[in-house]
Structure 1
Amino acid sequence: MGVDLMEIERLKRSVERRGRRLLEKIFTEEEIRYCFSMGEPYQHLAARFCLKEAVLKAFGLGLGRGVTLRDIEVKLNELGKPYVEIHGRLKEKAEKSGVSRIIVSMSHSGEYAIAVAILTG
C-alpha cells in the first residue's frame, strides 16, 4: 500500500516557475488536458501527482531505475472513479511481482490533495 499527501499550492508554484515542461515530465497529455478543462486545475493535477507517488510507494520504488511518473497514467471510468494504467518498466515489475490489480483512491480539498494505492495479486 502507498499513500501520498501534498499541498496543492506547492505544485502550483512549481508549475508557475518551471512551466509546461514540468507538466510534461509528470503527466500525460490526456491528464494535462483533462485537468485544465476543470475549474480548479491544480487540485486535479495535485491529486494525480499524489496518486502516481502512492503507486510508486506501493511498489516500494522511488523515481529512477527506468521508472518515471508518466509510466503511471491516471484515468477515470464512466462513473468518474479513478484507475491507473501502468506502462514501461513499472508494468514489467508488476507482472514479475504478480500484481494484477491496483486499487486506488484520490481526493482534494482547497489546500491538500491525497491518494492511496493498494496492490493486489
Structure 2
Amino acid sequence: MAVRGIRGAITVAVNEEAAILEATERLMRSVIEANEIEHEDVASVMITVTHDLDAVFPARGVRAIPGFDLVPLMCSNEIPVPGSLEKCIRIMMLVNTEKSIRDIRHIFLEGAAALRPDLNSQVK
C-alpha cells in the first residue's frame, strides 16, 4: 500500500457560502467516486481557494460527506499569480491505496478543467 496524492479543482460563479460549499462537496464526491475511496483510507485533505473566495471555509462542504467528520482538513489561500484562474477551489487528498500512480483519477470540473487538460482527459 502507498500514499497517493489525488488532485481536483472546480470553479464557482460567485463568492457565496452556498456556492462554495456545494462546489466543494461536488468536487470531493467526484474524486471519491472516480477513485473508489473509503474515508478510512484518507490521510488528509488540503483545500485551497483563490483570493476572491472568502465567504466560507470550504472544509465545511467536505464535512457534509458521511465519514469525513474525523478526516484532517486544512484550508489555505492559493498564490495570487496575475492572470491565474479566478474563483477556484483546489483539493489535494492524500490516500492510502493499492492503486498505482497511473490508476489515480484527478478531477477538474467547470472552468478548472482548463488547468490540467492532460490529467482531466484520463477521467473514465
Which of 1 and 2 has higher RCO (CA within 8 Å, sep 6+)? 2
Name the structure with the higher helix share: 1
Please say whether Structure 1 and Structure 2 have the same fold, judged by a TM-score greater than 0.5: no
Q: TM-score, length-normalised on structure 2?
A: 0.38
